Amino acid sequence: MANQKELFNIKSKVALITGGGRGLGRQMAEIFASSGCHIAVCSRKLEQCEETARTLAETFGIQAKGYACNIQNENDVKETVRQVLSDFGQINILVNNSGATWGAAVEEMPLNAWEKVMNVNLTGMFLITKEVGRHMIERQSGKIINIGSVAGLKAEPPQVLNAIGYSTSKAAVHHFTKDLARKWGQYNIHVNAIAPGFFPTKMTNHVLSEKGDEIRKHNPLGRIGDDDALKGAALFFASPASAFVTGQILAVDGGSSL
């Protein structure tokens, strides 16, 4: 019978986290590193990733490294995964956290804005999942955590969120999660998603500064997410505790999606 430590043990595993240099990605990197997991973080901004990796390594005594990667570029993705495997030897956990948004009314949204959001949130996720997935299939083991959004679970009024490209892409992330879980379960690869509600990040700063009080007022728990609110769900999906869980979308939103 497994005990608590065994259920949540990810010590010496290797996690690759896209968009891991700041925000929610960094928060998930912190909880993994504090559990003894080695960390690879990548984004287009190398300096942020290197600073995060350096801090995690010094704080938790694990191996960590930052990489520059544009996940929309297939060659970039292939080279980054190759480098991570060369440096760490394996990838046990993939967190697809990189994301983009664009706020505009539907009738005013430029095509290039729509394409940017789709390319990052969907195509980029597909490219890196495919590349890491080949390695996981060979190992017959893996944990994939996709970061969706409550915006992909329900339609918000335009006064709260007017970003149809973002909402649509996150709904697609949720279905991608379920479909991939069905396809890769045979390889002992678990694929799940977290759908965060409002958290204070660079992406949400503008909305929260203008509408934060109203968002809190309508949240069943009366608040927005803090720096620790996502960590438990991420650790659950990354660890043996979720060994019989795949294809699930977990809303971490204080009940706002109800």
Q: Tell me the residue type at 110.
A: P
Number of domains the chain contains: 1
Residue 237: which residues within 8 A CB-CB, separation 6 or more?
143, 145, 190, 192, 194, 245, 250
Higher pLDDT, 219 or 143: 143
Give the DSSP letter of residue 59: H
Taking a C-beta distance cutoff of 8 angstroms, is the pair 206, 159 a contact?
no
Can you tell me the distance from the alpha carbon of 26 to that of 44, in angstroms, rounded to the nearest whole number?
Answer: 15
Residue 122 located in a structural domain: yes
User: For residue 67, what pLDDT band results from cuts at 50, 70 and 90?
Assistant: very high
Residue 216 located in a structural domain: yes
Residue 243 has pLDDT above 90, yes or no: yes
Q: In what order do the strands lie in the sheet with 93-96?
A: 64-68, 38-43, 14-18, 93-96, 142-147, 189-196, 249-252
Residue 205 has pLDDT above 70, yes or no: no
Segment among 44-53, 74-83, 208-217, 222-231 with least mean pLDDT: 208-217
Residue 26 located in a structural domain: yes
Mean pLDDT, residues 133-142 taken together: 98
Can you tell me the distance from the alpha carbon of 72 to that of 239, in angstroms, rounded to the nearest whole number?
Answer: 28
Taking a C-beta distance cutoff of 8 angstroms, is the pair 183, 241 a contact?
no
Residue 128 located in a structural domain: yes
User: For residue 98, what pLDDT band results from cuts at 50, 70 and 90?
Assistant: very high
* Total residues found in the chain within this entry: 258
User: For residue 159, what pLDDT band results from cuts at 50, 70 and 90?
Assistant: confident
Residue 176 has pLDDT above 90, yes or no: yes
Residue 41 located in a structural domain: yes
Prediction pTM value: 0.94
User: Tokens at residue 139, please?
Assistant: 């190992």
The pLDDT value recorded for residue 202 is 67
Can you tell me the distance from the alpha carbon of 95 to that of 84, in angstroms, rounded to the nearest whole number?
Answer: 14
Q: What percent of the chain shows pLDDT beyond 90?
A: 79
Residue 214 has pLDDT above 90, yes or no: no
Q: Left if phi > 0, otherwise alpha if psi is -120 to 50, otherwise beta: which for 36?
A: left
Closest CA to 223 of 234, 213, 233: 213
Residue 1 located in a structural domain: no
Residue 186 located in a structural domain: yes
What amino acid positions are annotated as catalytic residues?
166
User: For residue 195, what pLDDT band results from cuts at 50, 70 and 90?
Assistant: very high
Residue 205 located in a structural domain: yes
Bridge partners of 147, per DSSP, are: 194
Taking a C-beta distance cutoff of 8 angstroms, is the pair 253, 150 a contact?
yes
Q: For residue 164, what is the domain's CATH number?
A: 3.40.50.720
Residue 146: which residues within 8 A CB-CB, separation 6 or more?
96, 125, 173, 174, 176, 177, 191, 192, 193, 194
Range of the domain at 90: 11-252
Residue 206 has pLDDT above 70, yes or no: no
Cα three-residue angle 131-239-181, rounded to 5 degrees = 45
Burial of residue 156, with CB atoms counted within 10 A of its CB: 0-12 exposed, 13-18 middle, 19 or more buried: middle
Cβ atoms within 10 A of the Cβ of 182, count? 12
